[in-house]
C-alpha cells in the first residue's frame, strides 16, 4: 500500500474505493468470529466453492464479519440488499441458498429466525434487532474486520484526520466533554474530564492503554468490538493520544481472545502501511 501523506489523500482514497463499488452485487455477510465454534469457516468455504462452481464471482461477494448479535442461531448470515437473515446454517445448506435465495429470490423457511412459531425472514422485522441503535457496534457484522478499505468506506480515519488538522488537543477534550461520553465500567466517570486530567499531568512519556480485559463473568463487549471492528479501536486510541499528548499506545487483551489478537495485528499493520499509524500520520 502507498502511504497517504495528506488529509486530502484519505478522501481521494475513499472516493476511489467508492468508484469500485458495484451496487448490483449481492453480498453475503457471514459471522466468522464467535460462529466459528459451530462451523462458520466451513460455511464460508462452501459458499466460495459454490460461487466459483457456478461462475458467480462477479455477482455474489462473501464478506467475513464480526459478531452479528444473534449467537443463539449460530452460524448466522445476512444477505444484502434483500435484508434476509438466516441462522443455524450448515455447509450442506449452501447450494440451496445460492440456487433458491440468491438466484431466484426465494425464502428458505427452515433457516429463518423463529419465535413463538412465527418465521421472520427479514432482519428488520426480528424483535431482537428492532429497538437497537448501534453506535459502538455500528460496523460489527457489516464489514470485514480484516479490511482497512471497508473501514475507510465507512468514513474510517476521518475523525483522526479532523482532529490532527482541524483541532487543537484542547478542542478535542472539550468536544468529548460536551458529548457527555462516560465510562461504561460502572462508575460512569466523564471521559472528557479523565482526558483533561491526563493532559494536564506533567510527564516525559505518556502511555494510552486500551483495556480489552473483561472481568465480569459472561461479558464479551470488548471482544466483540476488537474482533469485529479493530480499526475503530485504533482510531479511537489515536484521537485520545492526540488529546492527552501521548505518543505510545498499548492494547491489553486476553490470551484467550486469539481472534481479537489476530484482527488487531492485521489492522495495526494495515494502518501503518497506509500512513495512518506511526510517525507523521497523514504527512
For residues 210-237, give the mean pLDDT.
88
Is a pLDDT exceeding 80 seen at residue 215? Answer: no
Q: What is the pTM of this model?
A: 0.94
The CATH number corresponding to 151-273 among 3.40.1390.10, 3.40.50.11540, 2.60.120.10, 1.10.150.20 equals 3.40.50.11540
Cell numbers placing 69:
448479535
What band does 254 get if pLDDT is binned at 50, 70 and 90? Answer: confident
The residue that leads in pLDDT, 254 or 109, is 109
- The reply to whether CATH 3.90.226.10 applies to domain 22-132 is no
Tens digits of residue pLDDT in 89-104 = 999 999 999 999 999 9
Average pLDDT value for the chain: 95
Q: Which tens digits make up the pLDDT trace of 19-40?
A: 998 888 999 999 999 999 999 9
pLDDT at res. 218 = 67
Q: Bigger pLDDT: 52 or 185?
A: 52
Residue-range domain boundaries for the chain: 22-132, 151-273
Q: What is the pLDDT of residues 111-150, one digit of tens each?
A: 999 998 899 999 999 999 998 999 999 999 999 999 999 9
Amino acid at each position: 500500500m502507498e502511504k497517504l501523506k495528506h488529509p486530502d489523500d484519505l478522501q481521494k482514497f475513499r472516493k476511489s474505493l467508492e468508484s469500485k463499488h458495484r451496487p448490483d452485487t449481492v453480498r453475503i455477510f457471514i459471522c466468522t468470529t464467535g460462529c466459528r465454534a459451530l462451523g462458520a469457516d466451513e460455511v464460508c468455504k462452501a459458499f466460495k466453492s459454490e460461487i466459483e462452481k457456478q461462475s458467480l464471482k462477479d455477482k455474489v461477494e462473501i464478506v467475513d464479519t464480526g459478531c452479528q448479535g444473534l449467537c443463539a442461531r449460530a452460524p448466522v448470515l445476512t444477505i444484502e440488499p434483500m435484508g434476509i437473515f438466516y441462522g443455524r446454517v450448515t455447509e450442506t445448506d449452501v447450494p440451496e441458498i445460492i440456487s433458491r435465495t440468491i438466484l431466484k429470490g426465494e425464502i428458505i423457511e427452515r433457516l429463518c429466525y423463529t419465535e413463538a412459531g412465527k418465521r421472520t425472514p427479514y432482519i428488520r422485522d426480528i424483535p431482537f434487532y428492532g429497538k437497537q441503535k448501534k453506535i459502538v457496534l455500528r460496523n460489527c457484522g457489516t464489514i470485514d474486520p480484516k479490511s482497512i478499505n471497508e473501514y475507510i468506506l465507512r468514513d474510517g480515519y476521518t475523525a483522526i484526520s479532523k482532529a490532527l488538522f482541524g483541532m487543537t488537543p484542547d478542542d478535542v477534550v472539550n468536544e468529548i466533554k460536551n458529548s457527555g461520553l462516560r465510562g461504561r465500567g460502572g462508575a460512569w466517570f466523564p471521559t472528557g474530564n479523565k482526558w483533561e486530567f491526563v493532559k494536564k499531568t506533567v510527564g516525559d512519556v505518556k502511555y494510552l492503554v486500551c483495556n480489552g480485559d473483561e472481568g465480569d463473568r459472561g461479558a464479551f463487549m470488548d471482544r466483540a468490538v476488537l474482533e469485529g471492528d479493530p480499526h475503530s479501536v485504533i482510531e479511537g486510541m489515536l484521537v485520545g493520544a492526540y488529546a492527552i499528548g501521548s505518543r505510545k499506545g498499548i492494547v491489553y487483551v486476553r490470551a484467550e481472545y486469539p481472534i481479537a489478537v489476530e484482527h488487531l495485528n492485521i489492522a495495526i499493520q494495515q494502518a501503518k502501511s497506509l500512513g495512518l499509524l506511526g510517525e507523521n500520520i497523514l504527512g
